[in-house]
Amino acid sequence: MPGDIAVLRVLRTTLGAGAFLLVVVAIVVAILLVVRVLRRHGGRSGGLVAGLVALLAVWVSLAGIAELTLFGTRGLGASQRLALDPIVGARGWSGIAWRPVIDNVTLFVPLGGALAALWSRRSWPVVLLAAAIVSIGVEAFQWVFPTGRIANSADVIANTVGAGLGIMLARTIGVRTRSSRRSRSSRSEN
């Protein structure tokens, strides 16, 4: 896995933040389309496979988030740093540090899309809240276990925006299962 993450970092550096975000979004869209097709045309077994694909996407997203956010290059024992003011937390050497903001948005797009596909019958605020809780957990870990990373409220905001984009993609693509009203009406006809 660390070798795979290194490949992603090289790709991110080569493409730049904006292009890398587009590549991530394209991959998420492809996965969501697979889930949609399986749910709509695969029958009962297709729905099961779609759920497994969505679950795998959630686990891969969480593993990537853990790998890229939980430990800094200095390891345990570095100083604790906390930035509660999101404007201060998002500032770089000369103004807003857009690269880390875009990176944090990009990091959570797959999680938002995968959670929305997995929990297709849940309302989007519930899914967004779950992703925000993951982000808060990451930042709490960064603060409690001093790894050289900064626990930052700006990251929580950027991560939640990224998850929201993933959820919007899932809703736009239509990965939801049939509504319960349609399901009930088709059962009553049989």
What is the pLDDT tens value at each position of the chain, 190 positions in all? 444 566 767 777 788 777 888 888 899 999 999 999 998 888 888 889 999 999 999 999 998 888 878 876 555 555 566 566 656 555 554 555 667 778 889 899 999 999 999 998 888 999 999 999 999 999 988 888 877 777 888 899 999 999 999 999 999 998 875 443 344 444 445 4
Please name the amino acid found at residue 107.
L
- DSSP class of 175: -
Q: Which two tokens stand for residue 155?
A: 């990251």
pLDDT of residue 91: 58
Identify the pLDDT of residue 16.
79
Q: What is the pLDDT of residue 149?
A: 76
pTM of this prediction?
0.77
For 8-27, b where at least 16 C-beta lie within 10 A, e where not — what string? eeeebeeeebeebbeebbee
Q: Which helix (H) or strand (E) holds 96?
A: strand 95-96
- Three-state DSSP class for 152? strand
Q: How far apart are CA 188 and CA 136, in angstroms?
A: 45
d(CA 171, CA 116): 8
How far apart are the C-alpha atoms of 4 and 19, rounded to whole Å?
19
- CA R_g for the chain: 18
Burial grade of 61 (CB within 10 A; 0-12, 13-18, 19 or more) = buried
How many residues are present in the chain? 190
